[in-house]
Amino acid sequence: MKVEPTKLDGVLLVTPQVFGDDRGFFMETFNRDKALELGLPGEFVQDNHSKSSKGVLRGLHYQTPQWQGKLVRTVQGEIFDVAVDIRDGSPTFGEWVGFYLNDENKQQLYVPEGFAHGFVVTSDTAEVVYKCTSLYAPEQEGSVLWNDPEIGIDWPIAEPVLSAKDEVGQLIKDLPILSVT
């Protein structure tokens, strides 16, 4: 497993070692001891799996005060996966990184606590699985507007399909003070 830091402190791009031959492939997607050694969390408490059609954008979601770190991967198709720093007082507040995760490169993105997360499907369909460091608490969930001009994410799809919740996300300048403990 190879872990690469990104321009945002704590956001990590993870490339697993894949063993393939004419029968298919094998890869280890998570190993607690290796994760801890490489700067990832060693414990996750919830796994999620979603399937979406081309153009569906999910996000930019966060949860507070019970923050969630997420280890995200695509098992079928392709997504453009984004993390936005929303940590109060962070020198990179409002900055974003994005990576194409797909079933060919098998990369994973670790989005730590204190970040909003979202993705848009760029293939016909995509199945995304992600591990979370804390349980989902709907009453603590928030959403940053996917096309906030202050953030300026360069999404690869101009007119995404959004949920009602994601259509009314907040501008980053209107977020409450969000401290990560």
21 strand-pairing partners: 24
**Residue 117 falls in the annotated catalytic set:** no
| Residue 110 appears among annotated catalytic residues | no
Find tokens 């001891």 and name the residue: 33
Taking only Cα atoms into account, the Rg of the chain, rounded to an integer number of angstroms, comes to 16
- The residue among 111, 71, 99 whose CA lies nearest residue 156 is 99
For the chain, the maximum distance between any two Cα atoms, rounded to a whole number of angstroms, is 53
- Which of the following is catalytic: 62, 110, 117, 130? 130
Whether the Cβ atoms of residue 101 and residue 16 lie closer than 8 Å to each other = no
CB proximity list for 69: less than 8 A, separation 6 or greater: 41, 110, 111, 112, 113, 132, 133, 134
Catalytic residue among 61, 62, 110, 117: 61
Q: Catalytic residues, which ones? A: 61, 130
